[in-house]
Amino acid sequence: MAREINAELLDTKIEKAQKNLVKAKHRYDAAAATLKDLLDKRDALRQKKLLDAIAQSGRSYEEIMQYLHSKSEEA
């Protein structure tokens, strides 16, 4: 016959599991926030580099847009 688990022991284990879950969620949320911040910084850096390259290219807005649309339509 299977051993019966004491109700108090079970409640203690449930409480401990809940606390562990809350801690894990806090760690997850912190890691997710850090990742989002890093991705936002990378995107901002890429946008700045792209705008700098466009400004230095000497091409007009229309030329750049025509180039971008022609490349995407060929693919």
- pLDDT value for 21: 98
Say which amino acid occupies 27: R
CB 60 within 8 A of CB 70: no
Reported as a pLDDT band with limits 50, 70 and 90, residue 1 is: very low
Give the pair of three-digit tokens for residue 6.
């004491």
| Residue 3 host element (H or E) | none
- pLDDT tens per residue across span 2-55: 567 798 899 999 999 999 999 999 999 999 999 999 999 999 999 999 999 999
- Please report, for the chain, the start and end positions of each structural domain, with discontinuous segments joined by +: 1-74
